[in-house]
Amino acid sequence: MIDGIIFAVKVVVFGGVTMITQKVVVTEPLGLHLRPAGVFCEESLKFESKIQIRKGTSLLNAKSVLGVLAAGVKCGDEIELVCDGSDEQEAIERLTEILRGGKIERRDDDYDK
């Protein structure tokens, strides 16, 4: 991302269905443990689009805390967001911003000092 511009969004056509994907390196210091996963899912639920996380060979529901936790995403992991729906562009931009920018609320006791 340079000056707030998100790069490398690609359009995928699968079986006549168009969707967009975005690879993201997670910068949240502790990865997507319970609290960040909850915040991420809460944000995902604001969109009508189907939103999934691909990590390795797994494709998981980004609107489910259990799905996000099952991905086992750690700081520095590269994941791919897959969005399909009427607000897919807005969804992918917002969720990428959260994952890249550390926009998840933190408490001081979550981190080693």
Q: What is the mean pLDDT of the chain?
A: 82
Which pTM does this prediction carry? Answer: 0.78
Least confident range of 30-44, 47-61, 94-108: 94-108
The residue ranking higher by pLDDT, 81 or 13, is 81
Which residue among the candidates 23, 33, 35, 103 is catalytic per the annotation? 33
Q: Is 4 part of any domain?
A: no
Q: Is 17 part of any domain?
A: no
Note down the domain range covering 45: 27-106
Quote the pLDDT of residue 103.
Answer: 55
Three-class SS state of 59: strand
Q: Is 90 part of any domain?
A: yes
Q: Is 85 part of any domain?
A: yes
Banded pLDDT at 91 (limits 50, 70, 90): very high
For residue 33, indicate whether it is catalytic. yes
Cα–Cα separations (whole angstroms), residue 36 to 2, 67, 80, 96: 24, 13, 17, 13
What CATH number does residue 85 fall under?
3.30.1340.10
Q: Is 37 part of any domain?
A: yes
The residue ranking higher by pLDDT, 55 or 104, is 55
Q: Is 2 part of any domain?
A: no
Q: How many independent structural domains does the chain possess? A: 1
